[in-house]
Amino acid sequence: LSRNGARFQMFAPNQQQMHVMDHMKKQPFSGENRNMMMESARFSHGQGKMQMQDLSVLDVNSFDAVIFPGGHGIIKNLSSFMKDGKDCKLHNDVERVLKDFHHSRKPIGLASMAPVLACRALPSIEVTMGYERDKNTRWGNWPHTNMVQTVKSMGARHNVREPYEAYVDEKNKVVSTPSFMWETDYHYHYIFDGIGNMVKHILRLSTK
């Protein structure tokens, strides 16, 4: 965003996380909990309210576009996907924001698992989450293809794309990129390129 000259504001729900992950052991810490907004503020490098605010105050009239960066928090904290699958409920503010931007014809960016949110809130949109089958290559693999089948069952149209690509639903102004739906040992620059392409399309659509 900053490379393309865009000003931005970050938001997160001011609520507790489902759990705190130990990413070394790939399992939750026992007896520990953290606030989503406080944890997300790590990305703002100490800028506090200048860069991180409560999602409940996000007003569609103040912004040209919105981007949901993805990650497992999508299915744990922003929705009940882990428990309910295609019938999941969305966090109230997440659903409100998605519908407000869509109704206002403003672009929505989705990376990694974030299409799950938009496909649940906005029927018949078009997205990409990468490959539809787990295809191992010399560069990486696609371990989360079950989620692709789920968004299709929600009524979305899925389009296969590489991790360095983005897919644009011009009609609905929704732009998505696979991001970490793809697992790789060291080719992270492909994910960087995919997110960059998503951002460029979001900025293009925001001027229409």
* pLDDT at residue 28, as a whole number: 62
* pLDDT at residue 154, as a whole number: 96
What DSSP designation does 155 have? Answer: T
Contacts of 190 (CB under 8 A, 6+ apart): 139, 162, 163, 164, 182, 184
Please state the rounded mean pLDDT for residues 131-154: 90
- Domain range enclosing 169: 58-206
CB atoms within 10 A of CB 139: 14
* pLDDT at residue 200, as a whole number: 98
Same domain, 49 and 123: no
Residues in the chain: 208
Do strands 174-177 and 167-169 pair parallel, antiparallel, or not at all (unpaired)?
antiparallel
Same domain, 4 and 77: no
What DSSP designation does 50 have? Answer: G
- Please report where in the chains the tokens 């907004």 appear, as a residue: 37
Same domain, 140 and 195: yes
Same domain, 47 and 133: no
* pLDDT at residue 31, as a whole number: 65
CA 168 to chain centre: 15
Question: Residue 11: pLDDT above 60?
Answer: yes
For residues 13 and 23, what is the distance between their CA atoms, to the nearest angstrom?
22
Give pTM, 2 decimals: 0.90
Same domain, 123 and 183: yes
Same domain, 49 and 69: no
User: What is the tens place of the pLDDT at every residue in 162-171?
Assistant: 999 999 999 9
CA dihedral for 153, 159, 163, 169, sign (positive or negative):
negative
Q: How many domains does the chain have?
A: 2
Q: Which of 149, 158, 152, 98 lies closest to 126 in space, CA to CA?
A: 158
User: What is the tens place of the pLDDT at every residue in 55-111?
Assistant: 999 999 999 999 999 887 788 889 999 899 999 999 999 999 999 999 999 999 999
Same domain, 71 and 96: yes
Please state the rounded mean pLDDT for residues 11-30: 67
Same domain, 196 and 126: yes
